[in-house]
Structures are given as C-alpha cells and as structure tokens.
A and B are shown apart, each in its own frame.
Chain A
Amino acid sequence: MHVATSPAFKENAHKALADAGLQKALARSGPSFIARRASAVAGLPEFEELRNIARDIKNHAIENLDFYLEEYEAKVIAAGGQVHWCPDADAARAAVLAICQRVGARTVTKGKSMIGEEIAINAHLERHGIVPIETDLGEYIIQLRDELPSHIIAPAFHLNMEDWEEAFRKHHTDLPADRSLAERRDILIEARTRLRSKFLAADVGITGANFLIAETGSSVIVTNEGNGDLTQTLPRVHIVLASIEKCVPTIEDTTSLLRLLARSATGQDFSVYTTFSTGVRRPGDLDGPDEYHVVLIDNGRSAMIGTEFQEMLRCIRCAACMNHCPVYGAVGGHAYGWVYPGPMGSVLTPGLLGVDKAGHLPNASTFCGKCESVCPVKIPLPKLMRHWREREFERHLSPTAYRTNLGLWAFFARRPSLYRLATRIGAKALALLGRKRGRLASLPFAAGWTEGRDLPTPEGDTFFARYARAQRDGTH
C-alpha cells in the first residue's frame, strides 16, 4: 500500500528535477505523445465536433446517472451477471475479496485499472493471502518495483531500458545470466512467456472498464496488448472494477466517445482491442467466464455532482492533459504523490483525498491552458484548479500556506524551459483567459505574483506580460 505523498509535492518536484533517469525518460517520451495525437486529430476533420458531442453525452449521462445505473444493473442481471454497489473503497475491497474467497482463488490476474490503484486492491488481496498479478506490461514492472504508476495510460512512463532489465533480473531469479535482455523485444518476450502461465492458472480475472453501457449491461475495455482480454476470458470468474461515472447510455454514445479516446491518448485511430463484455458464458460457448461481477464504486464521485467539480466526472482517462502539461513534462507523475497525476490529477486528487492532503496540487500549473484545449470532453481544467484555490482561500488558510502556494506557482513559472513551453503553447490559453476580462484581480495569487519582487523577471515577452497587456487592451 502506497501512502500518498501529495502533501509533499514541492519536495517531490525538486527531487524529480534532479533525477537524471526520470529527466531522460520525460525528454524522450513527452514530445512523441504530442506529435502522435496531433497527427491522429489532423486525420479526423470531425474531431472538434465530436468533442462537443462527447461533452454533451457525458453531461447527459451524469444528469441522469441514477436512472442509467439502474437500467445498467437490470441488463447485467439479465445477462447472468451481478452488480455490487460500493459507496466507498472499503466496500469495494470487501466485495472483491468476498468473491475471491468464495471461489477459493489463489491467484488473480489483473488488467490495468486506475480505480484498482485508487482503492489499492492489490495490497488488500495480498493481505488475505491472494496473489494479484498485473498483466499490462507497464503495470507488471510497476508491481515488480512496488511503486505507483506515473501516468494513467503509460504506467512505466518514468522508466528506461536499464530499469527494465534490472527489475527483470532481480525478480525473475531463474533467468540465466547469459540471457540477453538488452533489447525491448527481449523484455517483451520474457514478460509474455512468464505471464502466459499466470493467465492460464488464474482463478479470477480483474479488469477495469472504460465504459459501462446502460443499453446492454456491457463493460468496455480498451487495450493494445490483449492482456485485458486474456484476463477476462480465461479465468472462471471475471470481476469488473468501475466507478459510477463510467456509465453511458448506448452503444452509439460509447462509439462516439471511442472515436476520441485512442486518438487523444496514444494517437491511434483506434486501440487494438476494444472489447465489450456482457455477462457470463452462454450455452454452447467454448470459452468465457462462468461468473461476471461488476464492482460499482462511488468513492467520492457523487460528492462532486452538483458542485463546480461535476464537470470532472466527464473524464475518460485519456491522459492527453498530462501529455501536454509543461509541469507534468518537467517533473513526471510520481511528484503528484498519488494515483492520478497531471492536470486531471490536480483536480481529482483534492476531491478524493481532501484539500488538506492535496491542496497544493492545483498550484502545480503554469495556467497555459493546453490541458483544456486538448481534453476530448472539454473539461475546463484550469478553471477547476482555480476553484480549488478559491476553496482554500475560503477555508482561511494561514499566511504560511498562502506563501507555500505562491512559492509553488513561482517555482514552476521560474523554470525557463517550462516557461518557454508554457508560453509557446500559451496562445490558446491567452484567448481563454482573456475572455474572462476583469478577472485578473480575483485570480488567486495574482496580487502575490505582481508584488513578487523576489521573483526574477522572466525574459522576453512572457505569458504573464502578454496576459496583462491583453487585459489592458481588451484584446485576446
């Protein structure tokens, strides 16, 4: 079980900036995500239109979520499955454990699931003598290294080849010393071989879900490796972990969201395996599970409904916001200290862990606005980060806390490379902020920023300089 280090964001960030291995990984992988998404988006002229549609679908689903969840459950039951309603993480862990214990499970294979990380299901199973085995390649090495994923779709984003070889040699103790693990191919084959027997031996398979479909009672997973499919096809029992906001009305709604998901995430037009699971093995089927359980988890989502953070529930976990975030690009995911990094994490984590623990995160922003401009469901992430700051003010934070937050903001704004990236991609953000004329004074920390005599003045025509001018001239 990993204790959240979100309260220590600034210390984490300092460490991250000094971590040569991490910096190498970030420099290599960051730009490629951006380029791949750009090319996929360029190939679909309807992309912008689909973003509006996606936003509306998710809004509609959340406005009627109680109805759709009940419809969904009825369809799951009709297909021979069962829904376990879990208000919090404790209830979800207990539900999963009860199923595993009832069927006498010894090993459990797992597809990648962020909600699984959120409720720390692996640690819970281990404590009760059940061995969970992560099968997504990235999650597998994260499990070997006993750390949290550093990215929501690329868990091992922070690692380099030497880390892979080291972890495999350390944990696969029967590997002959002369067996080469120098190439990516070697690593992949070793993992594939090793995990194949685990897939075949597992008693239970646990996957997440990208979507739950009320129309059909289906859970949808999206993967490139095929590990999620093996996880949900081979064992006798399939457990789906899903948070409530994954529920959408129809297959057509899901299809429209899927057109955006892979493009926004990896820059593929479609992921390799997009799989719809509906209940148990049917009469005559030669494969598939005999039991199908959906562990449906609230764990803080319903508390966001009706607040300014309701919009965050549209998130389809594509990771575009972190892939385009200059702060994430500088410090990586672990600095955020918990399961969800980057802009989406900065909004979500204070909601799930509490402002007292994660209140610093919304300050880890340069306000460049890039996250919002790439978000496929148009979540106004910078605005939501500002809401968290305003909430902190309403809580009458002490001057010390105020200084800490200002310091954090300054910390990022002062990094020249970050600053350049932020200003280069800031044109859109300027338009965005500029629309809110007269808001400068009410922007948290704006006063502190302008009075910040101890801050070195950034060179050239900076974001904030242009922003101030736009305010003055009323231009964007």
Chain B
Amino acid sequence: MSKDILLNAVRRGLKRGPLPEDRKAMLRGRLALHPRHTIPARSRLPHAGQVDLFVRNVEKEFGSVVRVADWNAVPDAIADYLSAQNLPSRFAMAPHPELQAIPWSNRPMLEIRVGRAEATDAVAVTQAFAAIAETGTLMLPSAPERPTTLNLLADTAIVVLRASNLVGAYEEAWDKLRAELGGMPRNVMLVTGPSRSADIEQTLELGAHGPRNLHVILVEDAG
C-alpha cells in the first residue's frame, strides 16, 4: 500500500508508468554484469609494488605493518608487537582455519581465546579476506570463522593478511569476494587505519569507539 504510494510518486515525477519489460531486462543485465568504471592508475602495479603501496597507505593512515616470511613467524611477530606496546599477551582470536593452523606453541606465553570478541578483550586477532593497495584497506567479511566484533571491540586489532590476498583496487577485491564467497556476507567491513574522531575542534584523535591500534601481520606467501 504505502509501497505503491511511494513508487507511484516516483513514477509521477519520472512522467511514466512502470518500466516496460525490455527496459527492465536491460537494467537487470546491468546489475548482473555490474560493469566497472574508471579505476585509478595508482594501483596498476606489479604485485610487489602493490604490496609496497598497501604498506605505505596503512602507515599513512596511522596503522602499522610488519612483514613476515611465513606462518611460523606469526606467533613471534604478535608476541613482539604486544610486548613492544606494553600490552598483555592475551587475545581473542577468530576461529579461522588459517589462524588455527599457526604453530602457536612456539610462543607458549601467548594466551589465546578462540571466538568472537567480548567487551573485556584488550587485543583481538583476525584474518583478512583481502586487502586493497589503492588506499591501504583491509576487507573483513563476516563469517562464522571471522566474527565482526573482533574488528571493533578491542583496543588493539591485529589482522593477519596473506600477501597473495592483496589486490590493487576495490573492484578486484569485490570480484574475489563474489568468486570465493558466492554472494554478500551479512557484513563486509572495509577498514583503513585505526578508529579516530575529529569531532572535537576538527582535530584528529585516534581511538574513538573502535581500536586505537591497527596492526597488520603481512605473511609474504606470494613468492
């Protein structure tokens, strides 16, 4: 009822009735093909250059990145980061198979709770589905193995990213998502740097409601 009122008001403005079927078919074609528009040249680089661009952009946005040679190096990288930041060696971690396969026993001091984040967690570790060099952005789609709260509740968010999951432009990350996940997950966060606010006197302060620290562990698996 109110749907018809609203749609008819739109059509009155457009000075036509509902679209004819052939026009609808054309528009459905556009939705199915979802054509790309201009993609900025800045990310059109060989992969190594994209990785460098990503790192530069994350750092420009007040995040940090450490590059490690393989999965075995991840526990050390995390433990070292936490101690350098004077943070507890306790964290909540996404139940992602890639993360669970990491040899955590290398650093027995790390206390890991696998699951979603709770309000009391100071540090959270999750896995990046993809990353976008263009602006230093992480793509974090929700899934049972990648709870959204891990991106948000802890003061420090650590994200493990495989270099082979890093692409140049957003469009490539979306195509990867369509191909591998088969459709839109409930929630897809594109995260660029740590939380911040400039609401007080238009001056930037880091750490508003989300994490104050965003640290990326970049696993160089791309060769």
User: Which of A's residues lie within 8 Å of B, judged by CB?
Assistant: 25, 28-29, 32-33, 44-46, 49-50, 53, 57, 63-71, 73, 79, 85-87, 91, 135-138, 141, 154-157, 159-161, 164, 184-185, 187-188, 192, 195-196, 199-200, 214-218, 224-227, 229-230, 232-234, 244, 249-253, 255-256, 258-259, 266, 268-288, 296, 298, 302-307, 310
Contacts and interface: CB of A to CB of B under 8 A. Distances in A.
Given A86-B6, A244-B6, A67 B205 contact: no
Given A91-B2, A285-B186, 17 more contacts: A29-B202, A65-B10, A66-B19, A137-B200, A192-B209, A196-B119, A215-B34, A216-B184, A224-B197, A227-B209, A229-B152, A249-B31, A272-B194, A276-B184, A286-B116, A287-B116, A287-B142
Given A33-B202, A224-B197, A276-B188, A298 B6 contact: yes
Interface in B187-223: 187-203, 205, 207-211
A458 to B, nearest CB: 30
A67 B19 contact: yes
Contacts, number: 267
Contact of B18 (A28, A66, A200): A66
Interface in B8-58: 9-15, 18-19, 23-24, 27-28, 30-31, 34-38, 40-42, 57
A273 B191 contact: yes
A306 B152 contact: no
Contacts of B28: 71
Given A64-B19, A224-B197, A270-B190, A250 B9 contact: no
Interface of B: 2-3, 5-7, 9-15, 18-19, 23-24, 27-28, 30-31, 34-38, 40-42, 57, 61, 95, 115-116, 119, 134-135, 137, 142-144, 147-149, 151-153, 170-171, 174, 183-203, 205, 207-211
B116 A155 contact: no
Contact of A304 (B6, B13, B34): B13
- Identify which of B13, B15, B183, B191 gathers the most chain A CB atoms within 10 Å of its CB: B13
Contact of B35 (A252, A279, A306, A307): A252
Nearest to A43: B42
Contact of B200 (A79, A161, A215, A277): A161
A267 to B, nearest CB: 10
20 contacts: A50-B37, A63-B14, A64-B27, A66-B18, A79-B186, A87-B6, A87-B9, A137-B208, A164-B200, A214-B31, A224-B197, A227-B208, A230-B210, A252-B34, A259-B40, A269-B134, A270-B137, A273-B189, A278-B186, A278-B188
Given A71-B31, A154-B199, A277-B187, A229 B2 contact: no
Given A200-B119, A272-B193, A273-B190, A310 B209 contact: no
Contacts of A195: 209
Contact of B209 (A159, A225, A249): A225
Contacts of A255: 37, 170-171, 174
Contact of B10 (A66, A200, A277): A66
Pairs of residues from A and B, 3 with the lowest C-beta to C-beta distance, nearest first: A226-B210, A305-B13, A225-B208
- Identify which of A33, A215, A251 gathers the most chain B CB atoms within 10 Å of its CB: A251
A91 B202 CA distance: 36
Given A66-B10, A255-B174, A302-B9, A25 B184 contact: no
A225 B200 contact: no
Contacts of A284: 143-144
B203 A45 contact: no
Nearest to A215: B31
B147 A287 contact: yes
Contacts of B40: 44-46, 259
B188 A53 contact: no
Contacts of B186: 79, 277-282, 285, 288
Nearest to B183: A216
Contacts of B116: 286-287
Contacts of A296: 6
A301 to B, nearest CB: 8
Nearest to A213: B184
B31 A275 contact: no
A156 B199 CA distance: 6
A233 B201 contact: no
Given A275-B187, A303-B9, A305-B13, A233 B30 contact: no
A213 to B, nearest CB: 9
A342 B194 CA distance: 30
B209 A251 contact: no
Contacts of A258: 170
A224 B187 contact: no
Contact of A272 (B7, B34, B196): B196
Contacts of A266: 198
Contacts of B57: 269
Contact of A250 (B12, B13, B24, B34): B34
A216 B183 CA distance: 8
A266 B193 CA distance: 15
Given A69-B7, A252-B36, A285-B147, A303 B13 contact: yes
Contacts of B41: 45-46
